[in-house]
Structure 1
Amino acid sequence: MKTVLITGANKGIGFESARQLLQKGFHVFLGSRNLSNGLKAAEQLKAEGLTHVEAVQIDVTNLDSVNAARKEIGSKVRTLDVLINNAGISGIDIDSEGHMVPQTAIDTDISVYQKVYDTNVYGPARVTKAFIDLLKNSLEPRIVNLSSSQGSLTLHSDPNYIYYQVKGVVYLSSKAALNMYTVNLAYELRDTAFKVNAVSPGFTATDFTGKNGGSVEVAAKRIIKYALIGQDGPTGKLFCEETNPDGTGEIPW
């Protein structure tokens, strides 16, 4: 039975990705910053008859927590087949009238960058580094980094891009940084069986978006597609089927 760790999987796209991979026969380590929330999510899946799931406490911003999760999972399995770096935050504040506060390049405080980057960039780097040894034991290791088309420098420089007007310097730049991390990681693992890709689920109705957007089922399907690709599949690429529905889904960096 193949194994997968999904960070931030107690709700939203991460939770639905866990459900769909369980349905495909995976054993899922359901990562959650708050263990209580993770345990509740795991029980919900078990109630659906999807029993091969375990909640694991992991705060991707805390190295001790990441290492503890590695120790816990490593005590149960020798091999991790898939890592989905799903945990992420927008860092967008809401004002007293319920409106989102723009993340402007001029006015945004550096502390906002630090908070968002700690989760969206340093988090995947911490987790990947901690679990790379277990992944190397897999015959077909896969790493999927949840990104966004909004991290594409090319698209955000194009006035015809659907989200061209939706700027936000902190979140967007964090995903651009994650994209570059993905490129470098894929390059370093190019002569191995690894497939490493950045994937955007598209604008999806979750807590992250205030319940606006497309279905979580479609978003999760887009993610796990790259957890399941064969050895002839791509690596070191950025995909967003919402932005490029031509069949390949690949979009420019």
Structure 2
Amino acid sequence: MENIKSVLITGANAGLGRECARQLALTSTIEKVYLGCRSREKAEAALTALVADTGRNIFEIVLLDVMDPGSVRTAVSNMKAPVDAVILNAGGTGGRHPTALTPQGVMNIYAVNVQGHVVLIDEMLNRQLITSTVLYAGSEAARGIPKMGVARPALKDASVNEFLNIAVGRTFTAKSDPMDAYASVKLTAALWMSSMARKNPYLRFVTVSPGGTTGTNGFDDMPFLKKLMFKHIGGVLMPLFGMMHSVETGAKRYVDVLTNTKFKSGGFYASKEGSPTGKIVDQFPMFAALANEEFQDNANQAVHQLV
């Protein structure tokens, strides 16, 4: 496991984050799992359940809200020791109004999926609080899922300004399909991660999609029809057609990539083309923009202009 003994997971009180914490605790080499959560009440409930489920009292709560950069900075300032790995799992639509702007001037959907995690990693790197791996929860949406009505993000020139426009709401409006905004935001994050891998060669930065996962709460605030399709109807029918899998399977992708160095730093691993489930593969051959180092660095520059 590349000597990974301690892991911090954002969005750890439910869904993929909590299941990942459970699976990691069942791995004997893991000695500490930090549960990054914004609600102490929900975090304590998750911790109690995880101890009961795993028989191991190795969990510790870290209060942080990735929608609030100040909260993230405070959480890092309170950390007493480095962690070996960070799993950037928190995400979703960012509330009922994905394209509305936060007090920091970025879309809610961008804040929850990108900005908070950029702040977290920068602050931790500045204090030398990561020793091994950063794992980002990507999405097949970043290269498009036509079978689910999610188009490939259409980059015009992949300039710094284009990535800034995505983040600050110039590309999308309240009338835009939230999944289009989500796809572009997830693409921005995957590019940022690849750039960070080259700029920090002593650490491993890997993007992996948990895939189409049933029972997650990241899309609870989507418009009614979208929520009905993705969370309820989709959660029942899509697994029958191989378009969704369980939370356990999605979280296992995190654990497998975290613990296996064959998944290279700077890479983006997700399902095969046209599908959000099945074996995970390198995404670069499917979408040339993902492997473009200029695009990666432009995304990195843009996200850092906004923190």
Among 131, 136, 146, the residue aligned to 1:145? 136
TM-score relative to the length of structure 1: 0.79
Residue aligning to 1:34: 39
What count of residue pairs does the alignment treat as equivalent?
225
For 1:90-101, what aligned pairs fall within 5 Å after superposition?
90-91=93-94, 93=96
Residue pair 1:10, 1:41 contacting (<8 A) in 2 also:
yes
Residue pair 1:148, 1:201 contacting (<8 A) in 2 also:
yes
Residue pair 2:64, 2:72 contacting (<8 A) in 1 also:
yes
- Distance of 2:183 and 2:278 partners within structure 1: 24
Residue aligning to 1:238: 268
Question: How big is the alpha-carbon RMSD for the aligned residues of Structure 1 and Structure 2?
Answer: 2.5
State the identity as a percent: 26
The runs of at least 4 consecutive aligned structure 1 residues that moved more than 4 Å come to: 91-94, 164-167, 244-248
SS at match of 1:121: helix
The answer on 1:45 being equivalent to 2:50 is yes
The answer on 1:184 being equivalent to 2:195 is yes
Residue identity in the other structure for 2:61: A
Q: Deviations over 1:159-190 (max 9, x none)?
A: xx433556622111110111111111111013
The farther-off stretch of 180-189 and 3-12 is 180-189
Residue identity in the other structure for 2:75: A
Superposition deviation, residue 89 in structure 1: 1.9
Q: Name the CA shift for 1:43/1:176 in 2 (closer, same or farther; >3 Å).
A: same
Residue aligning to 2:117: 124
Residue pair 1:144, 1:197 contacting (<8 A) in 2 also:
yes
Residue identity in the other structure for 2:139: S
- Distance of 2:43 and 2:281 partners within structure 1: 31
Q: Name the CA shift for 1:93/1:66 in 2 (closer, same or farther; >3 Å).
A: closer
The farther-off stretch of 240-249 and 124-133 is 240-249
TM-score relative to the length of structure 2: 0.66
Residue aligning to 2:238: none
- Distance of 1:244 and 1:220 partners within structure 2: 14
**Relative to total residues, which structure has the larger helix share, 1 or 2?**
2
- Distance of 1:222 and 1:28 partners within structure 2: 17
Unpaired segments ≥5 residues, structure 1 = 95-102, 104-108
- Distance of 1:92 and 1:44 partners within structure 2: 26
The answer on 1:87 being equivalent to 2:74 is no
Q: Deviations over 1:207-250 (max 9, x none)?
A: 235262311111001012222123x6411111113648786611
- Distance of 2:41 and 2:277 partners within structure 1: 38
